[in-house]
Amino acid sequence: MSIEKQTIENLATLARLAIDDKRVEEISQRLGSVLELVDQLQAADTSGLNDSDHPLSETQRLREDKVTETDHRGAFQAIAPDTEDGLYLVPKVID
**Shortest gap between Cβ of 59 and other proteins (angstroms)?**
10
**Shortest gap between Cβ of 34 and other proteins (angstroms)?**
6
3-state SS record for the chain: CCCCHHHHHHHHHHCCCCCCHHHHHHHHHHHHHHHHHHHHHHHCCCCCCCCCCCCCCCCCCCCCCCCCCCCCHHHHHHCCCCEECCEECCCCCCC
**Shortest gap between Cβ of 50 and other proteins (angstroms)?**
7
Q: Which is nearer to other proteins, 25 or 36 (CB)?
A: 36
Q: Which is nearer to other proteins, 16 or 85 (CB)?
A: 16
Contacting residues toward other proteins, per CB under 8 A: 7-8, 11-12, 14-20, 27, 30-31, 33-42, 44, 46, 49-56, 58, 60-61, 63, 72, 75-76, 78-82, 88, 90-93
**Shortest gap between Cβ of 44 and other proteins (angstroms)?**
5
As a whole number of angstroms, the distance between CA 67 and CA 62 comes to: 14
